[in-house]
Structure 1
Amino acid sequence: MVEFKPLVTLLAVVNPLAIVPFFIHFTQGFDAAQRRRTVVISSFTAFLVIAASALLGLDVLEFFGISLASFQVGGGLLLLTSALNMLNAQPAEAKPQTRDLEEGAQKAAMGDSIAVVPLTIPLLTGPATMSTVVIYAERAHTALQLAVLVGYGVVIGCASALCLSLAQPIARVLGRTGINVMTRLMGLILAALAVEVMAVGLLKLFPGLGH
């Protein structure tokens, strides 16, 4: 049975709409072809981050000797922090401050690709996204379930590509207020999911809590 909760959680964490103002900022002066290339690279990289987290995340935890229960509690706290940021109309991930944005623009001017850093990492997919994918990867008991989780990475990539491609119209239609309202709604959903993830981890660490 296909579970859609991971997709909902990822959409809430990534929240491509919140990246629209950053995309507009970084692509000022770009022609249409440069913008399209930036959208393609950024969206594909977001998919790669999610796929790598799903396929290799558990192996990385095992290598460092970290129990999944501990990771669930830590990841849940990270998700809850992201949710609180979103409830204050801030992007879920730890976004660069204005000074960092200017540094990013300077790097782009020097020829570095802003499609990967900072648009994809950390703006689209940061620690909270990776934690979410690893937690759900552990619940994938069959190859099909793991494939579905990787497939959700494709959905996230496509959603990101759509939002970034329509950045100018979205900014005009929704405005700052509309984007803030959607960010708060997604933050509320994410907060509930974060509490659930932490509860599962705590019950594994302290079985007595379930009695």
Structure 2
Amino acid sequence: MHFDTIYNQVLLVLQASILVLAALFPIVNPIGSAAVYLAMVQNVDASTQLKLAKRITMYSFVLLIASMLFGGKILSFFGISLYSVQIGGGLIVAANGWLLLNKDASKDRAAMPNPEAVLAQAFYPYTLPITVGPGSISVAVALGAHLPSEFHVRSFISPGILISSLLGTIVTCAIVYICYRWAKPAADLLGKSGTTVLMRLSSFISFCIGIQILTSGIRAYIDVLR
């Protein structure tokens, strides 16, 4: 009986971890986010980029876990709906994508950003909304609300659910770190022309993602009014 209990707990942790990873990975989209990130830090020195990647990874982990644990309660306390988060976040992501799309590369090459100023922006905008945007927060809040009922446990802080959520989030953030850490070497392999094309394309995709998040929020708001 004791062995069966342990086996069931391990199975629950594995299943929930895979569910968390499968839910977060597509919406966080580390590869696409890394391309946008690279467009913003292409003139930053390697050591600062390494520090920045570590901070973004740490902030992303904290933000996702906090959204799972407290996101629903915080939104409810302030009377904020998920569609409001989507509308506001979508506007920010779209505006950032538009700025990157119209960025003058020749002026960027002439300007060398201050490392301290770059690191001060690790949370905003590099973590929120570039890496963990409103879509990711919405998914994390939904996971925190539905995982307990999905696996028939009392609350999100039940050991099995909490451990699996930590594991799934850690794996997601580890992939974010790998993609951001090696974004510059990957761009060097592509060459100058390839990198320019990738950056413009990723900026356009970021703009489109922002519009998609915005329209999803507006659609949800219209549905509530009906």
Paired residue for 2:44, among 13, 18, 26? 26
* Preserved contact between residue 90 and residue 214 of structure 2 (Cα < 8 Å): yes
Q: 1:142 aligns with which of 147, 151, 162?
A: 147
Q: Could you tell me which residue of structure 2 aligns to residue 40 of structure 1?
A: 54
**Cα separation, partners in 2 of 1:106 and 1:43, compared to 1, 3 Å:** closer
Indicate whether 1:59 and 2:64 are aligned: no
Partners of 1:20 and 1:196 lie apart in 2 by 27
Q: 1:43 to 1:74 in 2, by over 3 A?
A: closer
Equivalenced residue count is 183
Residue of structure 1 in register with 2:197 after alignment: 177
Instruction: Point out where structure 2 has 5 or more consecutive residues left out of the alignment.
Output: 1-15, 103-107
1:9 and 1:193 in contact (8 A); partners too: no
Judge conservation of contact 2:97–2:207 (CA < 8 Å) in 1. yes
Alignment of 1:1-211 (within 5 A): 2=19, 4=22, 7-11=25-29, 15-28=33-46, 30=47, 36=50, 38-66=52-80, 68=81, 71-83=82-94, 85-86=96-97, 89-90=100-101, 102=113, 104-106=114-116, 114=119, 117-118=120-121, 120-127=122-129, 129=132, 131-140=134-143, 141-143=146-148, 153-172=169-188, 173=190, 174-204=194-224, 206-207=225-226
User: What is the one-letter code of the residue matched to 1:45?
Assistant: Y
**CA-CA distance at 1:72 after TM superposition:** 0.9
Determine the C-alpha separation between the residues in 2 that align with 1:11 and 1:154.
Answer: 15
Query: Which one has the bigger helix percentage?
Result: 2
Number of the residue aligned with 1:111: none
Contact 1:20 1:163 in 2 (8 A): no
- 131 and 159 in structure 1: CA distance in 2 versus 1, 3 angstrom threshold: same
Q: CA deviation at 1:36?
A: 4.7
Q: Is the 8 A contact 1:89 1:183 kept in 2?
A: yes
Which residue type is aligned with residue 199 of structure 1? R
Q: How far apart, CA to CA, are the structure 1 residues paired with 2:34 and 2:41?
A: 10
Matched letter for residue 219 of structure 2:
A
Instruction: Give the whole-Å Cα distance in 1 for the aligned partners of 2:75 and 2:68.
Output: 12
- AA in 2 matched with 1:165: R
Scaled by the length of structure 1, the TM-score of the pair is 0.63
What one-letter code is carried by the residue in structure 2 that aligns with 1:86?
G
Rg (Cα) greater in structure: 2
CA contact (8 A) 2:92 2:129 kept: no
Corresponding letter in the other structure for 1:123: P
**SS of the counterpart of 1:25?**
coil
Deviations 1:37-90 (CA, angstroms, capped at 9, x unpaired): 553343222222222223222222222233x2xx41352343155236436754
How far residue 16 of structure 1 moved from its aligned partner, in angstroms, is 1.9
RMSD: 4.0
Q: Which runs of 5+ in 1 are unaligned?
A: 92-96, 109-113
Identity of aligned residues (%): 13
Whether the aligned pair in 1 keeps the contact of 2:93 and 2:207 (CA below 8 Å) is: yes
Question: What is the TM-score with the length of structure 2 in the denominator?
Answer: 0.59
